[in-house]
Amino acid sequence: MNDEWNGGVAVVTGAGSGIGEGIARAAASRGMKVVIADIAVDRAEAVARSIRAAGGSALAVATDVSDATALDRLADRAYDAFGHVTLLVNNAGIEMLGHVWNIPAETWNKTIAINVLGVIQSVRAFAPRMISAGKRGWIANVGSIGSLGMMPIQTPYMVSKHAILSFSECLALEMEMIGAPISISCVLPGPVATRIFDDAVEGDEGKASGKHRAIMADMLRTHGLTPDEAAEIILDGIAAGQFWVPTHPELTEAMARTRAEYLIGDHRPHLTEDSRTLL
């Protein structure tokens, strides 16, 4: 446990369910006041009530991370309610399925607006105040083990998660450049039993999308960590100042090695046996 977090303030986007909810609850258990941001305000309120019922401090804020002004309001609400933000976790994200040529423009735009710009604009809204305070702080952006790989049918998601890793790398360099005491992490979850595939929007109605959704959702339910288990691993990694924070270190290392070999060898993308079963 990080003693610097006890009594501090955590802001978690997409905290009405899944990994975000787990992180919010784990942060509260470590003595933090928690701001629970989610577009589904009923879910956010339910999480906040349960934290308060357990003796913690929590505030639910309805937030559409695709709206930059909503993230400005979130920052204002967080600072007005609890003061200096210690930990910002940009977790909100969605999954989209389909062949790239069948996914409508508005679906592409929604995915990028939430998964990529939602993280970027959240950092823009919070980082200046965190930096100016001159205090230790932590910003964690939730990517995916997919940030290191490739997968057909999940192209919008994969593109967005590669972007989050790149953004986090550059953000870490900029914090180092100015000497800010802000630790940057990129969270790389592996299989975690959330609703992400149950809630995924299909860009087309083809058989590939439906089969992919069913297989992936079943895999998460059968083999995934619970959100609470993942949250504890994630917060431990962030508190330790890790840049990469994997929920499944061995799987992440294997993915990284495969990626490195692919880049060094100048290979062409090809379907693996695992990816073939999804088609």
Nearest to 140 by CA among 14, 235, 250, 227: 235
SS3 for the chain is CCHHHCCCEEEEECCCCHHHHHHHHHHHHCCCEEEEEECCHHHHHHHHHHHHHCCCCEEEEECCCCCHHHHHHHHHHHHHHHCCCCEEEECCCCCEECCHHHCCHHHHHHHHHHHHHHHHHHHHHHHHHHHHHCCCEEEEEECCHHHHCCCCCCHHHHHHHHHHHHHHHHHHHHHHHHCCCEEEEEEECCCECCCCCCCCEECCCCHHHHHHHHHHHHHHHHHCECHHHHHHHHHHHHHCCCCEEECCHHHHHHHHHHHHHHHHHCCCCCCCHHHHCCC
Query: Which of these is catalytic: 82, 157, 167, 197?
Result: 157
Question: Is the CB of residue 15 less than 8 Å from the CB of residue 91?
Answer: yes
Q: Report the DSSP pairing between strands 9-13 and 33-38.
A: parallel
Q: Which residue has the tokens 């006041």?
A: 33
The alpha carbon of 241 is separated from its chain's Cα centroid by a whole number of angstroms, namely 17
Q: Is 79 considered catalytic here? A: no
Token pair, residue 214, equals 């069913």
Residues serving a catalytic function are 157
